[in-house]
Amino acid sequence: MLIVFVKAIIIYIVMLFVIRVMGKRQIGEMQPFEFVITLLIAEVAAIPLNDPHIPMHFGLIPMFVLVILHVLMSVLARKSMFWRVVLSGKSVLVIDKGTINYSNLLSMNMNIGDLLEAIRCENKHDILNIEYAIFETNGQICIVNKPVDPTKPEPSLLPVPIVIDGKWDCQAATKVGITQTQIMDILSRRCINRFSQIALIDIRQNGIAYICTKKNESWQHKLSVLGEW
């Protein structure tokens, strides 16, 4: 028991040193290679603690090797744009001039629901107010708002998505008082005959609908809605 106690203290001190060397990033701010190394360090640190008969250096040596590897990768990423892209990837533009770039979204294995959730987490509730949105390499989203005229204040609106990733949401459509026939009539004017061609359609209390196709086209349309939800 005493051996385990001493090992735990030593591992704790070494882990503090390792985290200090790696920097003060939070989990959500880590680059992919940093996150992988952090997981591996946590795993090897537990090896000597799981069995009192395993020598301490079985955990300490891999930890220091991983720290050295992390430092080398950080230097490579800092010195070379090529290695920076290889190790960390590139930022991805998912909203361009107010239009969702659906192909870029798919390249990150994300869907429209993931995008809307990320936007709401940044306290942005209406995609019509967003000019650009970029997913950074650490998973954070950067949002650039459209210019606003301060002399013309607008009421707060809560968009309700009725089509997400080509799927019709019956419950949401009933909530705002819109039918598939109404929406298909609008889409047919743009030679769109299937919801599967649509990335997102959402509607606001003032009746303004934002429509974005999977081919990076978007527009607005005025509808008659219930007005309160």
Residue 212 forms beta bridges with which residues? 200, 218
The residue type of 31 is Q
Task: Find, among 131, 115, 130, the residue nearest to 164 by Cα.
Answer: 115
pLDDT of residue 17: 79
Least confident range from 69-78, 106-115, 134-143, 161-170: namely: 69-78
Question: Each residue of 160-170: pLDDT tens digit?
Answer: 999 999 999 99
The arithmetic mean of pLDDT across residues 98-126, rounded, is: 91
pLDDT of residue 227: 60
Q: Where is pLDDT greater, at 192 or 229?
A: 192
What is the DSSP code string of 149-183? -TTS-------EEEEETTEE-HHHHHHHT--HHHH
Residue 161 forms beta bridges with which residues? 202
Question: Each residue of 25-45: pLDDT tens digit?
Answer: 555 567 777 778 888 888 888
pLDDT of residue 28: 56
pLDDT of residue 201: 96
Q: Where is pLDDT greater, at 58 or 170?
A: 170
The yes-or-no verdict on residue 24 having pLDDT over 80 is no
**Residue 6 burial (CB < 10 Å; 0-12/13-18/19+)?**
exposed
Q: At 48, is the pLDDT very low, low, confident or very high (cuts 50, 70, 90)?
A: confident
The arithmetic mean of pLDDT across residues 119-148, rounded, is: 88
Q: Is the Cβ–Cβ distance between 191 and 218 less than 8 Å?
A: no
Angle formed by the axes of helices 57-79 and 81-88, nearest 10°: 130
Write down the domain spans for the chain: 2-87, 92-148+156-222
The arithmetic mean of pLDDT across residues 205-211, rounded, is: 92
Which class does domain 92-148+156-222 fall in?
A: alpha beta
Mean of pLDDT over the chain = 85
pLDDT of residue 137: 84
pLDDT of residue 167: 92
